[in-house]
Amino acid sequence: MKKPKKKNSYEENKMIIALNKKAFRDFFILNTYEAGIALEGCEVKSIRDHRVNLRDSYSRIRDSQLFLYNMHISPYSKSRIGDINPTRTRRLLMHRREIDKIEGKLTDRSLTLVPLRVYMIKNRVKIELALVKGKAGRDKRQDIQEREHKIEMKRALKKY
């Protein structure tokens, strides 16, 4: 008898806070990367309350550093500091070699760096970035057809 496959403890401890569903729908995901985020204390508390929005956020490399734009973190209600801009530019923490590799791939004009999800591992906030390429309208329709086909197959298998 085979032993059940153990889950990676790293994957097991992930607590997903926010997903960018629009990115999964509008882009082809080529590569994914994990990065830390430089945050204020009240922002971390707000993230723990799931008050994060990744819609329309994107990432750019500036001066060999990675920055995240337009990620909205609602202000923490019990905080004394009320003057933090919810959509301020945030620095992402990654190794220099990884940033250089990403920068080399971003020279292609059709590729973009988009955040997919925000999650916590051992009280540290992490963000999953993806190197993506935009989908055309026909690609989106094809994805919808495939999804509907899978649903129909599941229904048919459920009957038997």
Query: What type of residue sits at position 40?
Result: E
Triad 36, 39, 41: Cα angle to 5°: 130
CATH number of 13-135: 2.40.280.10
Instruction: Kindly calculate the radius of gyration of the chain based on its CA atoms and give it in whole angstroms.
Output: 19
Task: Render each residue's pLDDT in the chain as its tens digit; 160 residues.
Answer: 555 555 666 667 788 999 998 888 888 899 999 999 999 888 888 899 999 999 889 999 999 899 999 999 988 887 776 677 888 999 999 999 999 999 999 887 789 999 999 999 988 999 999 999 988 877 788 888 888 999 999 998 888 7
- Domain range summary for the chain, segments of one domain joined by +: 13-135
CA distance 66 to 46: 22
Q: How many alpha carbons lie under 13 Å from residue 91 in its C-beta half-sphere?
A: 9
